[in-house]
């Protein structure tokens, strides 16, 4: 019999539940795209590399610019059609990172990175999914201006959802890289690790890129064995999250440990250890006696850990 805990209302996961209709059928319709770009309610997210331009003011910042305002900020490298919010077209305007960096001098703008925007709640939550969509897509364009087959310059088409090579005829589609992120569980305990990149108090799920020719389950078992030396059996899918850093999807899982001796890969991790469910409660609530914390609710790791705290090994049901 598993003890269940109720931690209260579920906090909101970041970058998911987009209110935007991607209107895929319009992507090849140049006349419709032109009409949308001239629409009175058209709005553009302005992004360059890791940086996003916001208009400060009010309790939260405004991330939408009119297309004319966005063009006035500098040289636009790519424009991508994100879709429709009701009747209002939404676009991503891509700038060179240097061009966005220069806008930091302006006091009528706030220029910052998307992680900070999400964690600190700088914009209304409904803007996070289209910002993630725009950042991942525009980042892909910035890295694919030349054809990987023949090296010729490629051309943006389909409203920003394809790049064509006029030299060899290849069509290139935006890609998303799968990352497995998992909580390794044994009875009432689970494994959390620390990367050197983390703030000093934070512990989180193990994670790594799925490799070509691997299933999600195989990627989970391989990454856990590599990073923590634990052999895993059952793997159950929990949920997923777009992760536009630069263009991943996080595939959240729980994995059942079949061994319990940790062998930590110190190249990958600063440390890893077992935590029991009671200790995790204090980390999620930010009341841990040593000040240890779990990732914030904007990240799927928070929710993967929280589900284990709430329902224990029933995560495998
Ligand atoms: Zn080519």
**According to the model, what pLDDT value does residue 169 have?**
98
Cα of 76 from ligand 1 centre, angstroms: 24
Cα of 134 from ligand 1 centre, angstroms: 25
Cα of 30 from ligand 1 centre, angstroms: 23
Cα of 29 from ligand 1 centre, angstroms: 24
Return the structure tokens found at 61.
Answer: 């910042």
What is the residue-wise DSSP string for 32-44?
Answer: HHHHHHT-TT-EE
182 CA to centre of own chain: 16
Q: pLDDT tens digits, residue range 246-278?
A: 999 999 999 999 999 999 999 999 999 999 999
Asked if 144 and 172 touch (Cβ cutoff 8 Å), the reply is yes
**According to the model, what pLDDT value does residue 58 have?**
81
Number of CB atoms found within 10 A of residue 36's CB: 23
- Ion ligand 1: protein residues whose beta carbon lies under 5 Å: 147, 149-150, 152, 165, 167-168, 170
Please state, in angstroms and as integers, the Cα–Cα distance from residue 315 to each residue in 56, 117, 155, 222, following that order: 42, 31, 46, 20
Asked if 105 and 73 touch (Cβ cutoff 8 Å), the reply is no
Residue 45: CA atoms inside 13 Å, Cβ hemisphere, count? 31
* Residues facing residue 177 across a β-bridge: 248
Q: Would you give the end-to-end CA distance of the chain in angstroms?
A: 13
Backbone angles phi, psi at 230, to 5 degrees: -100, 135
pTM for this predicted structure: 0.95
Q: pLDDT tens digits, residue range 77-102?
A: 999 999 999 999 999 999 999 999 99
Cα of 313 from ligand 1 centre, angstroms: 51
Cα of 153 from ligand 1 centre, angstroms: 8
Question: Cα–Cα distance between 169 and 167 in angstroms, integer?
Answer: 6
Cα of 146 from ligand 1 centre, angstroms: 8
Cα of 166 from ligand 1 centre, angstroms: 7
pLDDT in tens, the chain (317 residues): 788 999 999 999 999 999 999 999 999 999 999 999 999 999 999 999 999 999 998 889 999 999 999 999 999 999 999 999 999 999 999 999 999 999 999 999 999 999 999 999 999 999 999 999 999 999 999 999 999 999 999 999 999 999 999 999 999 999 999 999 999 999 999 999 999 999 999 999 999 999 999 999 999 999 999 999 999 999 999 999 999 999 999 999 999 999 999 999 999 999 999 999 999 999 999 999 999 999 999 999 999 999 999 999 999 98
Asked if 65 and 55 touch (Cβ cutoff 8 Å), the reply is yes
Cα of 159 from ligand 1 centre, angstroms: 20
Cα of 148 from ligand 1 centre, angstroms: 7
Cα of 155 from ligand 1 centre, angstroms: 10
Cα of 97 from ligand 1 centre, angstroms: 26
Locate tokens 């009747």: which residue?
87
Cα of 80 from ligand 1 centre, angstroms: 21
Return the structure tokens found at 181.
Answer: 């992120």
Cα of 308 from ligand 1 centre, angstroms: 48
Gyration radius of the chain's alpha carbons: 22
Question: Cα–Cα distance between 48 and 100 in angstroms, integer?
Answer: 6
The candidate with the shortest Cα–Cα distance to 220, out of 125, 304, 123, is: 304
Cα of 27 from ligand 1 centre, angstroms: 22
**According to the model, what pLDDT value does residue 59 have?**
86
Helix (H) or strand (E) holding 171: strand 171-172
**According to the model, what pLDDT value does residue 2 have?**
82
Cα of 170 from ligand 1 centre, angstroms: 5
């Amino acid at each position: 019999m598993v003890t269940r805990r109720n931690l209260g209302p579920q906090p909101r996961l970041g970058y998911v539940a987009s209110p935007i209709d991607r209107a895929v059928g319009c992507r090849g319709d140049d006349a419709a795209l032109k009409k949308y770009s001239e629409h009175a309610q058209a709005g553009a997210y302005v992004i360059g590399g890791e940086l996003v331009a916001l208009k400060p003011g009010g309790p939260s910042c405004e991330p939408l610019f009119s297309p004319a305002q966005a063009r006035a900020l500098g040289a636009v490298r790519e424009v991508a059609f994100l879709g429709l919010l009701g009747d209002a077209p939404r676009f991503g305007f891509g700038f060179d990172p240097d061009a966005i960096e220069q806008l930091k001098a302006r006091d009528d703008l706030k220029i910052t990175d998307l992680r900070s925007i999400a964690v600190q709640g700088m914009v209304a939550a409904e803007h996070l999914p289209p910002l993630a969509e725009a950042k991942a897509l525009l980042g892909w364009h910035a890295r694919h201006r030349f054809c990987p087959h023949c090296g010729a310059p490629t051309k943006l088409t389909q409203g920003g959802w394809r790049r064509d090579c006029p030299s060899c005829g290849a069509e290139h589609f935006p890609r998303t890289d799968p990352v497995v992120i998992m909580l390794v569980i044994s009875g009432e305990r689970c494994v959390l690790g620390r990367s050197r990149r983390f703030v000093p108090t934070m512990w989180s799920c193990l994670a790594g890129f799925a490799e070509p020719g691997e299933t999600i389950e195989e990627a989970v078992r391989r990454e856990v064995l590599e990073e923590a030396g634990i052999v895993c059996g059952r793997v159950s899918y929990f949920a997923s999250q777009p992760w536009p850093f630069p263009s991943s999807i996080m595939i959240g899982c729980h994995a059942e440990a079949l061994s319990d001796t940790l062998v930590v890969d110190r190249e990958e991790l600063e440390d890893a250890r077992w935590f029991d469910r009671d200790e995790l409660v204090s980390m999620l609530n930010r009341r841990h006696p040593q000040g240890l914390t779990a990732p914030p609710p904007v990240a799927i790791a928070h929710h993967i850990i929280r589900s284990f705290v709430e329902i224990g090994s029933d995560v495998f049901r």
